[in-house]
Structure 1
């Protein structure tokens, strides 16, 4: 479904629901896309859940894990019922797909253009929708009612995520403009980062906003799982077992390593010590930044993208957030939003036609940067406004925040009747 690849010399648009039906099954591509789908599931459950859970306070870790798990479950259903159709159905005015076209995978059969079952596209793209929604929870932990979160996941995964996916990958207006987003810089990370920031502002600050991780080894384990699963996320977005997938995997490794080192060095200089939480955060920043560029840039580009985005994310977390006082609890905007914006724009700078067929600024096409900025701004505006509306509606229906007493006691006990550590 990567219609952002239009005009690029990659030998497939594998996820377009134009079903070949009678073609020959490509077992290599099929096996790879099954594996890639499973890897992205592993990113959310348990990768993101453990990463976020370890970062949160001990009295909120179970709620944080539950937000990731429940988001996956809720969005799975919204995706197969209507989300996939909105994202990849027949185009309506460049904004969305026909919402009734593929309800419950109706009409999806046979093989697609890459020779693997078209139904597998529904699964692979499902994993992107689920993790994007789960990512947002990191901004809301510690004070949001669980019932409000479930309603939010339901509505956001129908109203916000699928239209943005359509703009870039489903034949929408950004695809027609030639926007480059290999695996989700705009669709996933900027979308989630802005939703996290807007929600944090609407929810307001927690009583105690200090970030004191309850379990740093869990943070490191979660970051490692995310890195591992991200190979499915990025290399899987080649939609075949081919050279583009190899580029995406190698670029992901290089940019992530660079991002980890850049965060570590800047933190060492700024704060005096290189922390494991910081290195883990740099890993995620590098992963986020290379996501839109993974199949478009060479290794020099991946080094610059990983390092620049990681430094900017660190500054957003360590300088910008304290200065302005917004309570983006687990730095969803600071890492996913900022690194996503940097990665999307830098894709327009470093895109190498010898890798993905599309040229960026450094290869004689400065207009690509403008196209990338347009995609960033469109995503920020749409996600920000619609997220605010969804949260205000939920606030009117069930309320958004737990009471002050419940927050102080601990959201695990008050929302779930459990404690993580019964010592």
Structure 2
């Protein structure tokens, strides 16, 4: 992403209605990714936690939007303060902006850039929620989201994309969020689950997805919305870079899905729908930082490598004993690290910049910069997120009671259930007892062994 670099645009930019319309469409596409994520995660949990999983994503749309307007945009993209945070008083409340004022060096209004970036800020904490399924108080989660975006996301996004941010100035390439979004969220997920602990019955009870069609729907919406996420991050469509990013997004996602399925077939003997959906997301994650620097052939390599690495990584939670419920660490952290580092190998020097990777004669310089960005964001997010979770756990408590977790978090936290089975198996006057939804649905769900 190239915010604030006037040299990449015309010397005297004027408002472009085409680019403005394009960016508004991209913003809407990124927005739909959060409901898509909600469906993706919602189908992966047991039926008794479906609504809670949906709400953990949807609440981010409310909380982060308000905080972004109040101070988040200023902290992220305001005037740099020491390389670590930004601040511009005119951005506070978005009250000092003219409706036709252009973003620095570009042909789109500041308001359009602000709303596009808002959608990134919304989905990033929502990604974390998948690691915490079944066991977190909704009120504690909502407070965590507010604190996390303030302490972690806004500063890290400034490091990576804000003019003057220290990783930006170092030359770290992150086209659309490998470090600021995916490594950030994946490391945060790991930090939080190390604090709050495992689900009741982890490695003992079956915890199969209750609705694989819902997972596939969510993955499809994510794939669709990701074109706005990635192609829109060039902030215009004048020089072809956005088009390259668009096709690389499709190519890498396809390669990752196929690579995950191939690994799954060799390792576990079956091609699963959950594997297809997870592989696609792994490819989307990996191409996000790298797609503006590589060729379509490079995108195939990035996707295939990420698909295999992420498929291998999801089983680590059983070997190492951390309970990453829906494989946020295995897909987003590992995929983000892979995609960010692979820039240092596959950057062609002919797309978003003249930077070349190792395989194109560029040596190890860019790989070193990418590694600094990867591990700086990983370390900061991991530690800061664990500290926030620890403080919340010791004050208001992060986890629901054990009996609530066992019986179902939806009814206790939201006073609702995702599905009404009260009329199943009989007419309107039937008094026949009906098994609990978690039993009837989970028993029918296929067993998936990719994380064995």
Cα distance in 1, alignment partners of residues 233 and 261 from structure 2 = 29
Cα distance in 2, alignment partners of residues 266 and 150 from structure 1 = 37
Question: Displacement of 1:211 after TM fit?
Answer: 3.5
Q: What is the TM-score with the length of structure 1 in the denominator?
A: 0.94
Specify every segment of 5 or more residues in structure 1 that has no aligned partner in the other structure, as ranges. Answer: 14-19
Deviations 1:146-183 (A, max 9, x none): 01100000000111001111111002111111000000
- Tell me whether 1:281 sits opposite 2:271 in the alignment: no
Cα distance in 1, alignment partners of residues 201 and 29 from structure 2 = 35
CA contact (8 A) 2:83 2:166 kept: yes
Cα distance in 2, alignment partners of residues 398 and 11 from structure 1 = 49
Question: Displacement of 1:144 after TM fit?
Answer: 0.3
- Which is further off, 247-256 or 390-399? 390-399
Question: Displacement of 1:86 after TM fit?
Answer: 1.0
- Tell me whether 1:344 sits opposite 2:340 in the alignment: yes
Cα distance in 1, alignment partners of residues 183 and 220 from structure 2 = 22
CA contact (8 A) 2:196 2:393 kept: no
Local SS of the residue matching 1:356? coil
Partner of 1:16: none
Question: Displacement of 1:363 after TM fit?
Answer: 2.2
Question: Displacement of 1:362 after TM fit?
Answer: 1.8
Local SS of the residue matching 1:205? coil
Distance 1:102 1:34, change over 3 A: same
- Which is further off, 280-289 or 359-368? 359-368
- Tell me whether 1:155 sits opposite 2:147 in the alignment: yes
Partner of 2:2: 2
CA contact (8 A) 2:194 2:386 kept: no
Distance 1:99 1:145, change over 3 A: farther
- 1:209-288 maps to which residues of 2 (within 5 A)? 209=202, 210-242=206-238, 243-288=240-285
Question: Displacement of 1:217 after TM fit?
Answer: 0.2
Partner of 2:111: 119
- Which is further off, 129-138 or 210-219? 210-219
Deviations 1:372-394 (A, max 9, x none): 00000100111011101111121
CA contact (8 A) 2:256 2:306 kept: yes
Question: Displacement of 1:101 after TM fit?
Answer: 4.8
Question: Displacement of 1:37 after TM fit?
Answer: 0.1
Partner of 1:304: 301
Partner of 2:445: none
- 1:191-210 maps to which residues of 2 (within 5 A)? 191-209=184-202, 210=206
- Which is further off, 140-149 or 94-103? 94-103
Local SS of the residue matching 1:292? helix
Local SS of the residue matching 1:314? helix
- 1:335-374 maps to which residues of 2 (within 5 A)? 335-357=331-353, 358-365=355-362, 366-374=364-372
Cα distance in 1, alignment partners of residues 340 and 15 from structure 2 = 34
**Which among 396, 399, 410 is matched to residue 398 of structure 1?**
396
Question: Displacement of 1:141 after TM fit?
Answer: 1.1
Greater radius of gyration (CA): 2
Specify every segment of 5 or more residues in structure 2 that has no aligned partner in the other structure, as ranges. Answer: 422-452
What is the RMSD computed on CA atoms of the aligned residues? 1.6
Local SS of the residue matching 1:59? helix
- Tell me whether 1:62 sits opposite 2:55 in the alignment: no
CA contact (8 A) 1:79 1:157 kept: no
- Tell me whether 1:40 sits opposite 2:39 in the alignment: no
